[in-house]
């Protein structure tokens, strides 16, 4: 596969390491009350859609950016690629 | 000056040089390397500081810029790798840290890499068997990291030569691959 | 026989080759098949199941019958198609799947037994007695099955691998492919033109009709000549594009040296190319299909186009008198070409009553071939005339044309399914094509030469237009534009066996039986009868099988469907897929800075991940590894030892938030670690399981150096980058690996400080007060060499880790050895390292196995609940915090000289060997020269409460069962006085 | 109709007129006691054991395509019970025992061939781990044997002992492991179930579940509503998609695993061999083809195909282990969809919806599990209690922390 890196352009997916659903960005607050259920959901449950899937890829053999790739799991067509850091910020994650 | 004798990545006192067909592969241990990563919110200032040291612009994305003494290439968002002759700049990191101060995180990378300089004709024919970079499209002044023989390497395209940086501990494996491929092509 | 004139062979040069023990002569330009036919050899193989005699069916890579073992020894290549083997001088090929000989094959008895060996017969029998399957039936079946054989000797040839990029990849160099390449090449686009044949031109080399005013083959040569002059066009003959993968990536194999006796020195046998292309034009042509009729499998019976190709391209005819059996006009072309070449065509049998009248031979219209004769080769055929009478004809060869199938295989590699086209009675490419692929010429069902040329030009122009490259329309040369005239006809009805899959011996009867038993879907048909599972991947057989099944179910062929075409297009050698990554080059090797020195010392090395590390350093007179390791341990504990620990991962962590970042990465607290100090850290995975451990040294307020285990260095760095970029994107933290930048040595033992004081520059005070346990500093050694010193201990001794820039690592170890001579400093390897860490009860890979928690490891209290760190929450789950959870403890054998096997399970004395009694297991074990006893550590249920108890460490697998006492895992210096000394 | 050598003989002499369809092609009834969704190996086995062992009646298996078209028809046919953890080992050993009597049990020759399976050892740490595993197998009543390099050289002389990047240091063998003719398993169970009255309904896709106040009343299908007392779902490769119709999210990701077969060869491999320092395992089919596989492609996928990097990686492993493979040609590559669970182990359990049961998350271990999976799922459906060898395969083990993580890779499916 070819992943169109937002900074570097098309790169062979072989340079990347796959992690999984982009929802892994949305880590619950470990100090919140009753956070156990949230962590179970976060760590273990997946939509696993047949179709469009937002997922995390790490450019390990490249510039070491984590990317959020929107890819169809049936056709493997990739429709958008973003820097995960920007996505995380847009989801309100900070420090 | 201390009295420890350096060893080249290929394990000798002198660098290795191989000529196969039109191509010469030269081990180049005489470079100091330092990574410069901008601190959060300091991207502009750290780049300015770096350019002050280098005396020429810092490279843009996937770029390599070279000056009289210093040159540098892009290795990630707001991260650069600076090169300078080791003989004159054994303390490159300290020198750059002095200028960048708290605007950047500076890390000595000199020992982490083995550098091979490739010169001669038909270099693309050699490279096309080593990595998936499109050498036909790759302009001089481009630096890309990619996989060569299962190793993460930087490939830098100069006007009439190519530089490959690979992990120092795998210098022997990388060199073996370069020579094997050269013999297979030429 | 070889025709007196013609053919694209070099008659001036004669080369000699051997097949089945006989020597023959041929010419450059021949294939093994054409040369054998020219020498009057029709019998070339045996079929899979019935061991029926087999000759060539085709003239290309779709050949199912003429398979041979090429070359010998490590180069022996089974199942090699004689139709694509380029003849070279001294070629040796042997028949396969025949014993004792090709002419007399004992297993031909299966042919007599065929009534019993119908499709799927083996599912219905061989069940009793149960034990007989492995013992008796299966070995017999296995010996009979299989095709060719390998010697299992290592393949002596080299293989290579590479990557190519282009705007337009053209697959197939027939008329459409060449025309497309000319169009795109002239426009300056980056073009790759690949063809599996050694001579570009495709069918043009096998046909006689003209293009403009020259022979088709001549036009092809001219086109190739022009393309050769274009620097932007890469011509790749002998190159098979075998697979279409995601996003415009294609796999191709170039046969660099297969046409030579052996590869030239340093050159590969084959090269695997990964082709990255923006657009692809499939010009793979079409494949002629046979018709099924009784005994249609005898040597000498082949597709009409193959017969034509042998005569036109190779001037070779399988016999002097031949006949042609067709259901379409193209069969007539074969007859005409053969007649023109002086081959006697006794008759042209056409299933169509209204067939056109041929010149120079008798037309038998509305007729069918209903049977054939001849033991090892065709002798005659029986024809059923339109009026129902039969007629026998004596012929040595029969060309059969059931029509042409567009070569759609590559269009289906990404779930594309072809569509049925009645006008040519064949499947043509349809939707779900691989990204960027279009099709031209016969591959899309345009069978005339004119259409092929026009299609190639137009489709190439369209493809480039998408890319913004403008092309100029070429003037198309004149070429035949005959329409396709065909009346579908699949098989001749009858009681005798009519072959559909020639290699696997699947007949019309088998398809009928499958239907009768309910195996009617295409997938069931294929799997039940093995139809289309031969080495031709069904190219010659699937269509016929489908048609028969459609007939039986009363459905149309379109409704019946088609099986999935999967990569590779033609079979690909394992060697070329592996490329250069074989033998010791399977993966790169990482060498430590002291490697060359250690080698001089005669060290024994061991693979640790990608690294090679010194395992121990034998000394003269030491007979076993244990002697060496015990000495290294004693020397270290009694004086001082040195070990290369460079392989531990090192990550440079800098930034204003570096401390807080580590505070969240590690389960234990880091925020308040003072500058100049080191702390042990335990990382958990988010699921609460222990992930990795190491140390973090604070060199400055905003600067840490983190160490990881050797095994997890890469994964931990990835994990930290994830946390930095995805979880806390606004933390000011920068990470970079420095694993290779520093050569690092552990110097351990009572005399470690004394030794170091001779190396560390005097400016730095490393006395116990100035530089206590868990101190760290940036210093200089050997008169000014920059270095880092960490007072940490894996061995439990007074110990330091000293790091210098990697290039000085070799010099430093030599200096340490020289300066340490007075203390008899001893280098130790990974074995002694392991012994000392077990003696000290430190967890390592065997304990951090991804299944254990901080609690299991006896570090439960380290998991802080005062902060949010990765893994903390899920580590508190019920199942991970049970009171009787496994705990890390130590074991001592009742008899100190009895080995405790690592991997043994723990049971009560006298308890039965059943899982219900399983109390835990031994993770790491060794002989402790310090305690002069075997010792071990491992996990025991509720272990902390069972100190002093006696249990069994049982290892039935290794035949060991040892009585052990449960003790603390800290065998040596539990209070840690030594390391603080 | 009973299959036997005699029957084959008789039919051969009478022109094979007597063979009847291996299973009927019935129309769906409006209501069944038990409906199994999924006509793959596990679904068909479940129906077979429900009818044969648990004396259940009015059972249907509904399949959206043709039976046996999923993973049971696209795997590398290996059977073994060489598992490490107590949550798994008893179950897989139960499965292996069922394999051993399967053909006589369902009167179909599935060519169960116990030619042995070998896992190679390349490091000392690997040896320690394999010894722990082998002992665990023996504690669970399975067979295990530690082989020295000398023994290996006798039994597998063609392996790379002299020129290896990661030298072979031994092996853990299970002699009772082996291979089975995969398609025949589906057909044998289908035939056996059909002959006991189970309706096998092909080309019938489940479009939804009819759930009223917490109880599942049946399934909506492309051929209309089918009522059911109990619904058991066994749809490897589609688990998340199907259960989503019941409003459930699963601890599962779907990944593509490629498998490979070579051209036919005369016998070379004695059994199943698994490389311990790379991704490659291999066996030889009765037909002569080398059947091999490696790692999953590693990204979520429902496409039954993979990409070049994994193909090359598997070939590299093959050549590193067996340098004589160089000229053996790869004939066919295909891909199957693995429902990879979050700890690498399966789920056989009730759902929170009354009358709806689930069997899935088999990762790439599904084929060898077929008989026990069918038996245990049948046990659960018939008795509403888990079979004693499958008590650990619960939905709530993730939430409560009772993980069965053979590889110790954590909640990252593509690493299991």
Report if residue D21 sits inside a domain.
no
- The dihedrals phi and psi of D52, each to the nearest 5 degrees, come to -85, -45
CA closest to B132 among chain A residues:
A12
pLDDT value for A22: 98
- The domain segmentation of chain A, as residue ranges, is 2-25+34-90
pLDDT, average across residues D188-204: 98
Per the CB < 8 Å rule, is B112 touching C784?
A: no
Please say if the pLDDT value at position D265 is more than 80: yes
D313, D341, D369: which is the final residue of a domain? D341
B chain contacts of residue C161, beta-carbon cutoff 8 Å: 129
Mean pLDDT is lowest, of B69-78, C119-128, C922-931, for: C119-128
CA distance C301 to C42: 9
pLDDT value for C144: 86
CA closest to A36 among chain D residues:
D399
pLDDT value for C134: 86
Closest chain D C-alpha to C678 CA, distance in angstroms:
29
DSSP letter for C369, please: E
Domain identity same for D266 and D154: yes
- Domain total of chain B: 2
B93, B110, B127: which is the final residue of a domain? B110
pLDDT, average across residues B45-67: 94
Closest chain B C-alpha to A83 CA, distance in angstroms:
10
Please say if the pLDDT value at position C564 is more than 80: no
- pTM, two decimal places: 0.97
Residue among C729, C868, C874 whose CB faces A29 most closely: C868
Report if residue B4 sits inside a domain.
no
CA distance D350 to C944: 37
* Helical ranges in C211-363 per DSSP H: 216-228, 304-314, 329-340
State the span(s) of chain C assigned CATH 3.50.50.60: 159-286+406-466, 292-401
Could you give the dihedral angle defined by the CA atoms of residues D105, D106, D108 and D114, in that order, rounded to the nearest 10 degrees? -40
B chain contacts of residue A62, beta-carbon cutoff 8 Å: 144-146
Cis status, amide bond into C568, omega within 30 of 0: yes
Report if residue B10 sits inside a domain.
no
Question: Residue D200 is part of a domain; what is its CATH number?
Answer: 3.50.50.60
Q: Which chains touch A (3 or more CB pairs under 8 A)?
A: B, C, D
C chain contacts of residue B5, beta-carbon cutoff 8 Å: 808, 810-811
Please say if the pLDDT value at position C447 is more than 80: yes
Report if residue D49 sits inside a domain.
yes
Residue C965 burial (C-beta neighbours within 10 Å; 0-12, 13-18, 19+): middle
Q: What is the CATH number of domain C590-646+741-827?
A: 3.30.1360.120
Q: What is the CATH number of domain C490-555?
A: 1.10.10.1100
Structure tokens at C959: 């035949």
Which A positions 41-60 lie with beta carbon below 8 A of chain B? 60
CA distance D7 to D15: 12
Domain identity same for D362 and D326: no
CB D132 within 8 A of CB C903: yes
Per-residue buried b or exposed e for C944-960, using 16+ beta carbons within 10 Å of the residue's own CB:
eebeeeebbbbbbbbeb
Closest chain B C-alpha to C918 CA, distance in angstroms:
42
Domain identity same for B70 and B132: no
Residue among C128, C150, C918 whose CB faces D268 most closely: C150
Most B CBs within 10 Å: which of A3, A4, A15, as the mutation test of the B interface? A15
Question: What residues have CB less than 8 Å from B181, skipping those under 6 apart?
Answer: B126, B129, B130, C160, C580
- Helix orientation angle between C522-529 and C542-553, rounded to the nearest 10 degrees: 120
CB atoms within 10 A of CB C821: 10
A chain contacts of residue D252, beta-carbon cutoff 8 Å: 46, 48
pLDDT value for C431: 84
The proportion of chain C whose per-residue pLDDT surpasses 70, expressed as a percent, equals 100
CA closest to C703 among chain B residues:
B105
Q: Regarding the domain with residue range C649-737, which homologous superfamily does it belong to in the CATH classification?
A: Aminomethyltransferase beta-barrel domains (3.30.70.1400)
pLDDT value for C895: 97
- The predicted-structure confidence for D13-46, as pLDDT tens digits, reads as follows 999 999 999 999 999 999 999 999 999 999 999 9
CB D166 within 8 A of CB D351: no
Q: What angle do CA C720, C725, C727 make, to 5 degrees?
A: 80
pLDDT, average across residues B152-159: 97
Residue among C268, C592, C654 whose CB faces B184 most closely: C268
Report if residue D287 sits inside a domain.
yes
Domain identity same for B160 and B100: no
CA distance C402 to C289: 5
Residue among B61, B79, B132 whose CB faces A12 most closely: B132
Structure tokens at C378: 């065709």
- The predicted-structure confidence for B71-80, as pLDDT tens digits, reads as follows 999 999 999 9
Which of C524, C526, C564, C517 lies closest to C544 in space, CA to CA? C526
Please say if the pLDDT value at position C786 is more than 80: yes
pLDDT, average across residues D308-319: 97
Most C CBs within 10 Å: which of A22, A23, A43, as the mutation test of the C interface? A43
Per the CB < 8 Å rule, is A63 touching B132?
A: no
Instruction: Find tokens 């109709």 and name the residue.
Output: D1
Report if residue B12 sits inside a domain.
no
pLDDT value for C128: 84
Report if residue D270 sits inside a domain.
yes
Which of C750, C765, C745 lies closest to C815 in space, CA to CA? C745
Residue span of the structural domain in which B147 resides: 17-29+112-185
pLDDT value for C130: 82
CB pairs under 8 A between B and C: 149
Structure tokens at C301: 């019976």
- The predicted-structure confidence for C868-919, as pLDDT tens digits, reads as follows 999 999 999 999 999 999 999 999 999 999 999 999 999 999 999 999 999 9
B110, B134, B158: which is the final residue of a domain? B110
CB D11 within 8 A of CB D40: no
Please say if the pLDDT value at position B1 is more than 80: no
Please say if the pLDDT value at position C359 is more than 90: yes
D341, D371, D399: which is the final residue of a domain? D341
pLDDT value for C561: 86
CB C661 within 8 A of CB C670: no
Domain identity same for B117 and B73: no
pLDDT value for C536: 95
Report if residue D17 sits inside a domain.
no
Residue span of the structural domain in which D411 resides: 27-77+183-250+344-415
Residue C968 burial (C-beta neighbours within 10 Å; 0-12, 13-18, 19+): middle
Most B CBs within 10 Å: which of A1, A4, A5, A7, as the mutation test of the B interface? A7
- Domain total of chain D: 2
Domain C15-119 CATH (choose: 2.60.450.10, 3.10.20.440, 2.130.10.10, 3.40.50.720): 3.10.20.440
CA distance D379 to D375: 6
Whether B60 contacts chain A with CB within 8 A: no
The proportion of chain C whose per-residue pLDDT surpasses 90, expressed as a percent, equals 97
Please say if the pLDDT value at position D1 is more than 90: no
Per the CB < 8 Å rule, is B169 touching C738?
A: no
Per the CB < 8 Å rule, is D254 touching A20?
A: no
Per the CB < 8 Å rule, is A65 touching B132?
A: no
CA distance C609 to C846: 14
pLDDT value for D388: 97
Whether B147 contacts chain A with CB within 8 A: yes
Structure tokens at D213: 């106040």
CA closest to B179 among chain C residues:
C266
Structure tokens at C340: 């023109």
Which of C282, C307, C65, C301 lies closest to C206 in space, CA to CA? C307
DSSP three-state, residue C690? strand
CA distance C431 to C429: 7
Report if residue D83 sits inside a domain.
no
A chain contacts of residue D240, beta-carbon cutoff 8 Å: 46-50
Residue among B111, B168, B173 whose CB faces C589 most closely: B173
Residue ranges of chain C whose CB lies within 8 Å of a chain A CB: 245-249, 276, 414, 435, 657, 686-687, 714, 718, 721-722, 725-731, 867-869, 872-874, 876-877
Q: Which chains touch D (3 or more CB pairs under 8 A)?
A: A, C
Report if residue D388 sits inside a domain.
yes
CA closest to C806 among chain B residues:
B111
Instruction: Find tokens 């579908």 and name the residue.
Output: C488
Instruction: Find tokens 């040069």 and name the residue.
Output: C13
- The predicted-structure confidence for C688-708, as pLDDT tens digits, reads as follows 999 999 999 999 999 999 999
Q: What end-to-end distance do the CA atoms of chain B give, in Å?
A: 45
pLDDT value for C485: 95
Q: What end-to-end distance do the CA atoms of chain D give, in Å?
A: 43
B82, B110, B138: which is the final residue of a domain? B110
Residue among D8, D262, D318 whose CB faces C125 most closely: D8
pLDDT confidence tier of residue C767, bands split at 50, 70 and 90: very high
Per the CB < 8 Å rule, is A2 touching C869?
A: no
Report if residue B147 sits inside a domain.
yes
CB B19 within 8 A of CB B117: no
CA distance C510 to C242: 31
Q: What is the CATH number of domain C292-401?
A: 3.50.50.60
pLDDT confidence tier of residue B67, bands split at 50, 70 and 90: confident
Q: Which chains touch B (3 or more CB pairs under 8 A)?
A: A, C
Domain identity same for D349 and D301: no
pLDDT value for C818: 98
D chain contacts of residue C575, beta-carbon cutoff 8 Å: 315, 319, 325-327
CA distance C108 to C114: 10
Closest chain C C-alpha to B85 CA, distance in angstroms:
15
Report if residue B6 sits inside a domain.
no
Per the CB < 8 Å rule, is C574 touching D266?
A: no
Q: What is the CATH number of domain C858-866+876-980?
A: 2.40.30.110
Residue among A30, A40, A65 whose CB faces C868 most closely: A30
Per the CB < 8 Å rule, is C158 touching B184?
A: yes
Closest chain A C-alpha to B120 CA, distance in angstroms:
27
Domain A2-25+34-90 CATH (choose: 3.30.420.40, 3.20.20.190, 3.30.2270.10, 3.30.10.20): 3.30.2270.10
Per the CB < 8 Å rule, is B144 touching A65?
A: no
Domain identity same for D244 and D309: no
Please say if the pLDDT value at position C563 is more than 80: no
CA closest to A37 among chain D residues:
D399
CA distance C519 to D183: 12
What ipTM does this complex have? 0.97
Which of C780, C809, C651, C799 lies closest to C715 in space, CA to CA? C651
Report if residue B5 sits inside a domain.
no
Query: How many C-alpha atoms does C785 have within 13 Å on its Cβ side?
Result: 24
pLDDT value for C582: 94
pLDDT, average across residues C769-793: 97
D341, D362, D392: which is the final residue of a domain? D341
CATH class, range C159-286+406-466: alpha beta
Distances from the Cα of A8 to the Cα of A63, A82, B58, B131, B144, angstroms: 9, 12, 17, 16, 9
Domain identity same for B35 and B106: yes
Domain identity same for D49 and D193: yes
Distances from the Cα of C506 to the Cα of B107, C534, C570, D351, angstroms: 69, 10, 21, 47
Return mean pLDDT, chain C: 97
């Amino acid at each position: 596969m070819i992943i169109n890196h937002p900074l570097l352009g098309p790169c062979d997916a072989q340079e990347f390491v796959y992690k999984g659903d982009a929802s892994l960005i949305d880590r619950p607050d470990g100090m919140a009350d009753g956070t156990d259920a949230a962590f179970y959901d976060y760590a273990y449950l997946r939509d696993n859609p047949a179709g469009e899937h937002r997922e995390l890829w790490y450019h390990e053999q490249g510039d070491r950016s984590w990317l959020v790739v929107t890819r169809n799991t049936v056709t493997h067509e990739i429709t958008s690629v973003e820097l995960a850091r920007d996505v995380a910020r847009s989801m309100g994650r900070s420090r | 000056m201390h009295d420890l004798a350096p060893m080249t990545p290929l394990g000798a006192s002198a660098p290795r040089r191989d000529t196969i067909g039109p191509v010469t592969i030269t081990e180049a241990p005489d470079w100091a390397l330092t990574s410069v990563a901008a601190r959060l919110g300091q991207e502009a200032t750290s780049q300015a500081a770096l350019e002050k040291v280098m005396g020429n612009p810092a490279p843009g994305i996937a770029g390599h810029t070279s000056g009289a003494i210093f040159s540098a290439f892009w290795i990630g968002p707001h991260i650069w790798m600076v090169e300078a002759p080791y003989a004159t700049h054994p303390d490159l990191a300290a020198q750059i840290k002095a200028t960048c101060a708290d605007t950047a995180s500076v890390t000595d990378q000199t020992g982490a890499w083995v550098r091979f300089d490739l010169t001669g004709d038909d270099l693309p024919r050699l490279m096309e068997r080593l990595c998936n970079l499109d050498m036909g499209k790759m302009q001089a002044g481009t630096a890309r990291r990619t996989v060569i023989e299962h190793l993460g390497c930087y490939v830098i395209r100069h006007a009439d030569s190519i530089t490959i940086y690979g992990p120092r501990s795998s210098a022997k494996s990388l060199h073996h691959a370069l020579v094997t491929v050269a013999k297979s092509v030429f | 026989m070889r025709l007196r004139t013609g053919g694209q062979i070099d008659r001036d040069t004669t080369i000699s080759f051997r097949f089945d023990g006989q020597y023959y002569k041929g010419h450059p330009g021949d294939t093994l098949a054409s040369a054998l036919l020219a020498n009057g050899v029709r019998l070339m193989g045996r079929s899979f199941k019935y061991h029926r005699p087999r000759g060539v069916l085709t003239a290309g890579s779709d050949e199912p019958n003429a398979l041979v073992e090429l070359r010998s020894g490590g180069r022996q290549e089974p199942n090699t198609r004689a139709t694509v083997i380029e003849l070279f001088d001294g070629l040796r090929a042997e028949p396969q799947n025949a014993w004792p000989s090709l002419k007399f094959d004992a297993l031909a008895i299966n042919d007599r037994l065929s009534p019993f060996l119908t499709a799927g017969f083996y599912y219905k029998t061989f069940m009793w007695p149960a034990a007989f399957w492995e013992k008796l039936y299966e070995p017999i079946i296995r010996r009979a099955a299989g095709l060719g054989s390998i010697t299992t000797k290592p393949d002596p040839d080299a293989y290579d691998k590479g990557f190519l990029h282009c705007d337009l990849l053209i697959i197939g160099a027939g008329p459409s492919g060449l025309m497309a390449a000319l169009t795109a090449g002239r426009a300056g686009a980056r073009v790759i033109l690949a063809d599996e044949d050694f001579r570009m031109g495709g069918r043009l080399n096998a046909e006689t009709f003209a293009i403009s005013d020259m022979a088709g083959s001549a036009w092809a040569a001219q086109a190739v000549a022009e393309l050769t002059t274009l620097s932007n066009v890469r011509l790749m003959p002998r190159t098979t594009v075998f697979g279409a993968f995601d996003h415009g990536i294609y796999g191709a194999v170039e046969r660099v040296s297969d046409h030579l006796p052996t590869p030239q020195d340093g050159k590969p046998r084959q090269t695997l190319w990964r082709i990255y292309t923006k657009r692809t034009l499939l010009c793979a042509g079409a494949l002629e299909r046979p018709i099924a009729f009784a005994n249609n499998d005898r040597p000498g019976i082949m597709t009409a186009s193959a017969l034509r190709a042998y005569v036109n391209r190779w001037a070779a005819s399988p016999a002097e008198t031949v006949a042609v059996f067709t259901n379409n006009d193209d069969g007539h072309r074969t007859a005409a070409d053969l007649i023109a070449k002086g081959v006697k065509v006794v008759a042209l049998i056409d299933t169509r009553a209204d067939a056109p009248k041929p010149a120079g031979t008798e037309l038998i219209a509305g007729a069918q071939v209903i049977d054939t004769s001849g033991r090892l080769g065709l002798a005659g055929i029986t024809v059923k005339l339109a009026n129902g009478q039969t007629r026998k004809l004596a012929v040595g060869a029969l060309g059969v044309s059931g029509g042409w199938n567009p070569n759609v295989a590559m269009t289906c590699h990404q779930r594309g399914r072809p569509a049925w086209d009645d006008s040519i009675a064949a499947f043509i490419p349809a939707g779900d094509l691989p990204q960027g692929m279009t099709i031209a010429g016969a591959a899309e069902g345009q069978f005339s030469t004119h259409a092929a040329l026009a299609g190639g030009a137009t489709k190439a122009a369209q493809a480039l237009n998408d890319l913004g490259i403008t092309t100029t329309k070429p003037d198309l040369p004149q070429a035949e534009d005959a329409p396709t005239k065909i009346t579908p006809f699949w098989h001749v009805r009858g009681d005798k066996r009519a072959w559909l899959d020639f290699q696997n011996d699947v007949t019309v009867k088998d398809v009928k039986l499958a239907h009768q038993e309910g195996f009617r879907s295409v997938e069931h048909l294929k799997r039940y009868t093995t139809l289309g599972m031969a080495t031709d991947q069904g190219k010659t057989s699937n269509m016929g099988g489908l048609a028969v099944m459609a007939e039986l179910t009363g459905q149309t062929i379109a409704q019946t469907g088609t099986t999935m075409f999967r990569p590779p297009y033609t079979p690909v050698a394992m060697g070329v897929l592996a490329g250069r990554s074989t033998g010791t080059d399977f993966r790169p090797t990482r060498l430590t800075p002291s490697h060359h020195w250690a080698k001089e010392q005669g060290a024994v090395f061991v693979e640790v991940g990608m690294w090679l590390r010194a395992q121990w350093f034998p000394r003269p007179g030491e007979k076993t590894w244990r002697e060496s390791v015990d000495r290294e341990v004693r020397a270290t504990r009694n004086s001082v030892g040195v070990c290369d620990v460079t392989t531990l991962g090192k990550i440079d962590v800098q930034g204003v938030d570096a401390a807080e970042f580590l505070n969240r990465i590690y389960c234990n607290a880091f925020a308040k670690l003072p500058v100049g100090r080191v702390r042990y850290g335990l990382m958990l995975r988010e699921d609460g399981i222990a992930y990795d451990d190491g140390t973090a040294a604070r060199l400055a307020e905003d600067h840490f150096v983190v160490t990881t285990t050797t095994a997890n260095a890469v994964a931990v760095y990835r994990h930290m980058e994830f946390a930095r970029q995805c979880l806390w994107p606004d933390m000011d933290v920068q990470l970079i690996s420095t694993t290779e930048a520093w050569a690092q040595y552990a110097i351990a033992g009572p005399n470690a400080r004394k030794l170091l004081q001779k190396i560390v520059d005097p400016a730095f005070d490393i006395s116990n007060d100035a530089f206590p346990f868990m101190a760290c500093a940036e210093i200089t050694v050997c008169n000014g060499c920059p270095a880092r010193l960490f007072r940490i201990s894996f061995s439990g001794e007074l110990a330091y880790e000293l790091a210098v820039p990697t290039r000085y690592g070799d010099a430093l170890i030599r200096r340490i050895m020289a300066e340490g001579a007075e203390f008899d400093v001893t280098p130790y390897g990974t074995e002694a390292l392991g012994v000392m860490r077990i003696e000290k009860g430190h967890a390592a890979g065997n304990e951090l196995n991804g299944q254990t928690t901080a609690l299991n490891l006896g570090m439960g209290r380290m998991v802080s609940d005062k902060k949010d760190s990765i893994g903390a929450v899920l580590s508190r789950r019920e199942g991970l915090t049970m009171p009787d959870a496994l705990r890390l403890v130590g074991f001592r054998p009742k008899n100190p000289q009895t080995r405790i096997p690592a991997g043994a399970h723990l049971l009560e004395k006298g308890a039965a060997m059943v899982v219900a009694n399983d109390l835990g297991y031994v993770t790491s074990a060794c002989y402790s020269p310090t305690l002069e006893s075997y010792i071990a550590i491992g996990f025991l249920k509720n272990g902390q409460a069972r100190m002093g108890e006696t249990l069994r460490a049982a290892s039935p697998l290794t035949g060991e069962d040892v009585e052990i006492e449960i003790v603390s895992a800290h065998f040596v210096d539990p209070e840690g006085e030594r390391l603080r000394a | 109709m009973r299959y036997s050598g005699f029957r084959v003989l008789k039919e051969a002499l009478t022109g094979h007129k007597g063979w009847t369809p291996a299973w009927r092609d019935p129309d769906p009834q409006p209501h069944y006691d038990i409906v199994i969704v999924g006509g793959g190996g596990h679904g068909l086995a479940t129906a077979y054991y429900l009818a044969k062992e648990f004396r259940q009646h009015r059972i249907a298996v509904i399949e959206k395509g043709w039976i046996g078209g999923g993973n049971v028809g696209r795997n590398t046919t290996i059977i073994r019970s060489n598992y490490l953890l107590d949550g798994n080992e008893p179950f897989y050993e139960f499965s292996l025992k069922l394999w051993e009597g399967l053909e006589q049990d369902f009167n179909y020759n599935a060519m169960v061939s116990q030619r042995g399976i070998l896992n190679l050892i390349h490091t000392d740490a690997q040896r320690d781990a394999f010894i722990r595993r082998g002992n665990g197998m023996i504690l669970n009543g399975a067979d295990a044997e530690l082989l020295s390099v000398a023994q290996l050289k006798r039994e597998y002389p063609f392996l790379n002992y002299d020129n290896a990047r990661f030298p072979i240091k031994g092996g853990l063998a299970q002699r009772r492991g082996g291979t089975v003719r995969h398609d025949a398993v589906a057909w044998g169970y289908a035939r056996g179930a059909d002959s006991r009255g189970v309706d096998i309904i092909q080309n019938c896709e489940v479009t939804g579940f009819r759930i009223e106040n917490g109880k599942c009343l049946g399934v909506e299908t492309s051929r209309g509503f089918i009522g059911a007392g109990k619904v058991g779902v066994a749809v490897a490769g589609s688990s998340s998609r199907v259960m989503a119709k019941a409003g459930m999210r699963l601890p599962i990701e779907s990944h593509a695993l490629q498998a490979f077969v070579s051209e036919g060869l005369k016998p070379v491999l004695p059994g199943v061999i698994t490389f311990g320092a790379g991704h490659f395992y291999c066996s030889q089919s009765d037909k002569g083809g080398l059947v091999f596989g490696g790692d999953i492609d590693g990204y979520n996928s429902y496409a039954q195909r993979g990409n070049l990097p994994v193909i090359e990686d598997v070939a590299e492993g093959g050549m590193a282990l067996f340098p004589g493979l160089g000229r053996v040609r790869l004939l066919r590559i295909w891909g199957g969809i693995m429902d990879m669970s979050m700890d690498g182990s399966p789920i056989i359990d009730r759902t929170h919806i009354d009358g709806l049961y689930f069997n899935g998350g088999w990762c790439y271990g599904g084929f060898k599990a077929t008989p026990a999976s069918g038996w245990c799922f049948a046990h659960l459906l018939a008795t509403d209690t888990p079979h004693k060898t499958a008590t650990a395969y619960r939905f709530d083990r993730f939430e409560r922390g009772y993980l069965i993580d053979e590889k110790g890779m954590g909640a990252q499916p593509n690493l299991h």
